[in-house]
Structure 1
Amino acid sequence: MSGAVEPAIREGGPAPRAGTRQWAALAVLMLPVLLVAVDNTVLSFAVPALSLELAPSGTQLLWIVDIYSLMLAGLLVTMGGLGDRLGRRRLLLVGGAGFGLVSILAAYATSPELLVAARALLGVFGAMLMPSTLSLLRSIFLDPGQRRLAIAVWSSAFAGGAALGPILGGWLLEHFWWGSVFLVNVPVMVLLLVFGPLLLPESRDPAPGPFDLVSVGLSLAAMLPVVYGVKALAKSGASPEALLCLAAGVLFAVLFTRRQLRRPTPLLDLRLFRDRMFSVAVASNLLSVFALVGFLFFVSQYLQLVLGLSPVEAGVRLLPGLLAQVAAALLAVLLARHIRVPILISAGLLAAAFGYVIAVGLPVDGGAARLVLAFAVLGAGVGLAETLTNDAIVGAVPPARAGGAAAISETAYELGAALGTAVLGSVLIAVYQRDLVVPTGVPGEDAESARETIAGAQSAAAGLPTELATTLMDNARAAFVHGMSVTSAIGVAIMAITGISAAVLLRRRRG
């Protein structure tokens, strides 16, 4: 089975059910998902240590953090189409080998430029991993009920990786050097390369058509400027650079769309969006991630910079929310047997809105328990909605075209993450900067640093007299918490509108 293309389903007959070997293959597919999720969160803990050792400039540090997601998002469509043609297992194993080797390069980087290059390559190989895992699930689990359960387990790996990242990163940095956060990738990739050829079947589109290099170029020209522009908006507001990137990305996206709709065998089948369930599922998927990442943008800062918890303590406080996300993903499979899927998707989105409701008006002191509850409700809603939307996306296509559908799902994920930080993060920073009162006596450079972020205020306070430092931090915490409340209120509105819209648009669909 390890070298075979997925079997054909007898016309009119029931889909074959997965056995022990297929469920073991699912465990293998969870490895790269877990790893990419850990990699998304663990680096933030290593930034202070690597900054001291490599001394990057401010621009270099931004590229070290951002280049990974930029390359990952930009190449997902290309890699989805490539997997359909060359074979998804083959692309997954190539991506795994490259990810492991480049992780070693990143761990022992001796200059900022080398680390930026390594992070870029990690994004390239990461783009090979993600569409391949979801599209292989579509090929391995042909029974709809089993496929939904497999996707729930696959989705839970994202939450598990996000939970493990802060705790693992904090522990590693307490015992080892900053490069250790990259070396954890290596043993996981070794397991993938050992068991992948044994347990994963090969699958590809039997009649994919020619590989359209023009479409590849247009997809890159659309995605890279859009993701970069969104990140630039989050950092510096509506600057000419950010707006120019967004405009260029939109222009190339229009050209890409027109080309795909005219070709008989497109790189990305955008005709799928004519199906209302598919299009609503993609939008709901994007906005679920938007809600989760936007919330995570301020929750870690609140726990560490407002309440004064250590990174490990803050990571532990996030566990209930991430466990709730896992539990809701698995519960979605049982609920979908008795409740219509559109109702469940809408319910998940509205639960995410209610999580934001709980976060509105958090106090400056003693709000940890309430924040944990808010994140648990939000995580449960996102876990419920994401499992069913991912299932709807990959279930809308035959197994042969699963790579394209998986690429759409993963692209929605990456755009949702970028927009969550850009939109909600920008609102939070804007309110903080408007409300912060810098006390008289703070030197000009320190005052400017404090006005940028609450982390800058903490850094400025470290060099001030005790009374002045206390006043500055009290004002900074109050301004930040007010920004959280405004941001949460916007999150409530966006997710409530999304949940209600999903219910209205899908009200006539069955099953």
Structure 2
Amino acid sequence: MAGTDRAARAPDATHRPGRWLALSVLVLAVLLVAVDATVLGLATPFLSEDLKPSGTQLLWIGDIYSFVIAGLLVTMGSLGDRIGRKKLLLTGAVAFGAVSVLNAYATSPEMMIAARALLGVAGATLMPATLALIRNIFHDPRERSVAIGIWGAAASAGAAVGPVVGGFLLEHFWWGSVFLINLPVMAVLVLVGVRLLPESRNPAPGPWDPASVVLSLVGIVGVVYAIKEAAAYGLRWDIAAAAVTGVVARSSASSADS
């Protein structure tokens, strides 16, 4: 009889209450991270009029966000394994909202580039944490497959939605509004996440090498900087040095990972 009771309760234990609401918030966060990669497209003329960036600076404003996310995704996933994915997600959401304000009110091209880079750091905490938490929320394999499919669709759709959202906001507000839309979404993520998201961490996390992370970022930034500067000003010794530094740093990071 006791065995029957346990068997009857087992399916219920795999269905966490509020799991679909939790998924909707996680998916919205991922969608917003993807939107921020392309939302500046239509805002570029207005941003250029206010901040007056050079051609190279304008390219960095558009690209640095995605570069930082790409360089930190694996590292932030490993960090979440150690400190807890829920903790990393909520911390990243707060940081994403705060840095969005810094982006919206940037007063110089240099400040805008730095703010976009920081936004990329915060975005890199959200992507792996949301996916890892889906695995902990949905224990039923079929439900988990559906949830991951929705997550992937949102991540892919965000890039396409960005220009649409940017165009709508620019029609009614100034260019900084494309960043301020992040605030209510991140506020909802924190409020709902505190109540509904489970905490999880890897009991036996693999090695974490911060030096490789730094080398990887230096490699990406160094090579891209050299390409952009060489295209604008021609090949100079400092540009060649940046390219060599980037290649060496990236090779060192790859060797350390292997």
Q: Name the TM-score class by shorter chain.
A: 0.7 to 0.9
Is 1:222 matched up with 2:216?
yes
Q: Partner of 2:74 in structure 1?
A: 77
**In 2, are the aligned partners of 1:73 and 1:227 still within 8 Å (CA)?**
no
**In 1, are the aligned partners of 2:222 and 2:243 still within 8 Å (CA)?**
no
Cα shift at 1:233: 4.9
Cα shift at 1:154: 0.5
Is 1:159 matched up with 2:156?
yes
Distance, in Å, in 1 between the alignment partners of 2:221 and 2:109 is 22
Larger relative contact order, structure 1 or 2 (CA cutoff 8 Å, min sep 6): 2
Is 1:18 matched up with 2:15?
yes
**In 2, are the aligned partners of 1:233 and 1:242 still within 8 Å (CA)?**
no
The structure 2 residue matched to 1:40, chosen from 37, 41, 56, is 37
C-alpha spacing 1:256/1:28, structure 2 compared with 1 (3 Å): same
3-state DSSP class of the match of 2:15? coil
Q: Partner of 1:148 in structure 2?
A: 145
Distance, in Å, in 1 between the alignment partners of 2:157 and 2:67 is 23
Is 1:92 matched up with 2:99?
no
**Aligned counterparts, 1:230-269, within 5 A:** 233=227, 240=240, 244=244, 247-258=247-258
Q: State the structure with more CA Rg.
A: 1
Cα shift at 1:62: 2.3
Cα shift at 1:39: 0.4
Cα shift at 1:231: 7.5
**In 2, are the aligned partners of 1:222 and 1:248 still within 8 Å (CA)?**
no
**In 1, are the aligned partners of 2:93 and 2:186 still within 8 Å (CA)?**
yes
**Aligned counterparts, 1:348-427, within 5 A:** none
C-alpha spacing 1:132/1:253, structure 2 compared with 1 (3 Å): same
Cα shift at 1:161: 2.1
Name the aligned partner's letter for residue 94 of structure 1.
Answer: T
Q: Summarize deviations over 1:92-142 as a string: whole Å, max 9, x none.
A: 000000110111111111222221221111011111111101111122223
Q: Partner of 1:121 in structure 2?
A: 118
Q: Partner of 2:28 in structure 1?
A: 31
- Name structure 2 gaps, 5 residues minimum: 1-9
Q: Partner of 1:305 in structure 2?
A: none
Q: Partner of 2:7 in structure 1?
A: none
Name the aligned partner's letter for residue 141 of structure 1.
Answer: F
Distance, in Å, in 1 between the alignment partners of 2:84 and 2:124 is 15
State, as a whole percentage, how many aligned pairs show the same letter: 54
Q: Summarize deviations over 1:394-452 as a string: whole Å, max 9, x none.
A: xxxxxxxxxxxxxxxxxxxxxxxxxxxxxxxxxxxxxxxxxxxxxxxxxxxxxxxxxxx
- Pairwise CA RMSD: 2.7
Name the aligned partner's letter for residue 225 of structure 1.
Answer: G
Q: Summarize deviations over 1:198-237 as a string: whole Å, max 9, x none.
A: 111000012337x74xx11113302441365358658867
Name the aligned partner's letter for residue 188 of structure 2.
Answer: L
3-state DSSP class of the match of 2:103? helix
Q: Partner of 1:195 in structure 2?
A: 192
Q: Summarize deviations over 1:295-322 as a string: whole Å, max 9, x none.
A: xxxxxxxxxxxxxxxxxxxxxxxxxxxx
Name the aligned partner's letter for residue 254 of structure 1.
Answer: S
Cα shift at 1:46: 1.0
**In 1, are the aligned partners of 2:43 and 2:166 still within 8 Å (CA)?**
yes
Q: Partner of 1:411 in structure 2?
A: none
Name the aligned partner's letter for residue 222 of structure 1.
Answer: S
Cα shift at 1:16: 6.1
Distance, in Å, in 2 between the alignment partners of 1:228 and 1:68 is 15
Runs of 4+ in 1 over 4 A off after TM superposition: 13-16, 230-243
Distance, in Å, in 2 between the alignment partners of 1:179 and 1:254 is 38
Higher mean displacement: 84-93 or 161-170: 161-170
Distance, in Å, in 1 between the alignment partners of 2:79 and 2:12 is 26
Q: Summarize deviations over 1:63-118 as a string: whole Å, max 9, x none.
A: 22222122222222221111001000100000000110111111111222221221
C-alpha spacing 1:54/1:159, structure 2 compared with 1 (3 Å): same
Is 1:174 matched up with 2:168?
no
Q: Partner of 2:3 in structure 1?
A: none
3-state DSSP class of the match of 1:171? helix
Q: Summarize deviations over 1:317-372 as a string: whole Å, max 9, x none.
A: xxxxxxxxxxxxxxxxxxxxxxxxxxxxxxxxxxxxxxxxxxxxxxxxxxxxxxxx
The structure 1 residue matched to 2:180, chosen from 151, 171, 183, is 183
Distance, in Å, in 2 between the alignment partners of 1:69 and 1:131 is 15
Distance, in Å, in 2 between the alignment partners of 1:15 and 1:148 is 18
**In 2, are the aligned partners of 1:71 and 1:224 still within 8 Å (CA)?**
no
Distance, in Å, in 2 between the alignment partners of 1:153 and 1:63 is 31
Cα shift at 1:172: 1.4
**In 1, are the aligned partners of 2:56 and 2:229 still within 8 Å (CA)?**
no
Q: Summarize deviations over 1:21-44 as a string: whole Å, max 9, x none.
A: 222221121121011111011011
Paired residue total: 243
C-alpha spacing 1:15/1:138, structure 2 compared with 1 (3 Å): farther
C-alpha spacing 1:57/1:216, structure 2 compared with 1 (3 Å): same
Distance, in Å, in 1 between the alignment partners of 2:51 and 2:216 is 33
Distance, in Å, in 1 between the alignment partners of 2:14 and 2:228 is 46
C-alpha spacing 1:137/1:190, structure 2 compared with 1 (3 Å): same
